[in-house]
Amino acid sequence: MPVPLIIPIILAASGGGIIGALSRQPEINRLKKQVKLLQEEIDRLHNVIMEQNRQIQELTIRYKSLKGWQFSEKAAQRANIKGYYLHLYCYKEYVELLCYQVKGNELNSSQQNFFNAYEISLNGNDVPTSNLISMRDYIHSKYNYEITNQISYDQNATIKMVEGVNV
């Protein structure tokens, strides 16, 4: 008789398993949906990360290009400032040579070449490139340290020199 008792136990166990499985099915379905949502969220986050990496690369490129632009702009400004000091000392030398001539002194050839080229530029005419180069070389031979180190000169001394000239 032990056999007939086993069958109801097996049926009861399998029925309990089926009932247990059916009673847990809503929870299993909910967990499956949650897994699916999490997988979709992972995909979305992966796309967000890819977009952020793209934006970071773009910003890095912009930053580097701005850094390069800043460097070139800085060099241009440095050149402009150097040009300002070059013109400042050209003016100083021109006034000094003018006063020197008014006092009856003769200019040497390099002084005369500088004087003539600077006077042409003051009149608003185009100065030939060779004259510009000789003008630049003349000023650099006398004031290179001051121009390179951006040292201004005392303009009061130039004014006093002009005031002291007796015509």
User: What is the domain count for the chain?
Assistant: 1
Domain that holds residue 143: 78-163
Nearest Cα residue to 114 out of 78, 139, 147: 139
pLDDT tens track for 104-153: 888 898 999 999 899 888 888 888 888 888 899 999 999 999 998 888 88
Instruction: Give the pLDDT confidence score for residue 14 in this predicted structure.
Output: 67
pLDDT tens track for 41-75: 999 999 999 999 999 999 999 998 888 889 888 88
Higher pLDDT, 10 or 102: 102
- Is the pLDDT assigned to residue 15 strictly greater than 80? no
Q: Taking the CA of residue 14 as centre, how many other CA atoms within 13 Å lie in the half-sphere pointing to its CB?
A: 5
Over its C-alpha atoms, the chain yields an Rg (Å, rounded) of: 45
- 72 in a domain, yes or no? no
Q: For 76-86, what is the mean pLDDT?
A: 88
Distance (Å, whole) CA 37 – CA 31:
10
- 99 in a domain, yes or no? yes
- 151 in a domain, yes or no? yes
- 15 in a domain, yes or no? no
- 11 in a domain, yes or no? no
- 121 in a domain, yes or no? yes
Tokens at residue 93, please? 């030398």
- Is the pLDDT assigned to residue 2 strictly greater than 60? no
Give the sign of the dihedral formed by CA 105, CA 98, CA 100, CA 86.
negative
- 117 in a domain, yes or no? yes
- Is the pLDDT assigned to residue 3 strictly greater than 60? no
- 30 in a domain, yes or no? no
Reported as a pLDDT band with limits 50, 70 and 90, residue 1 is: very low
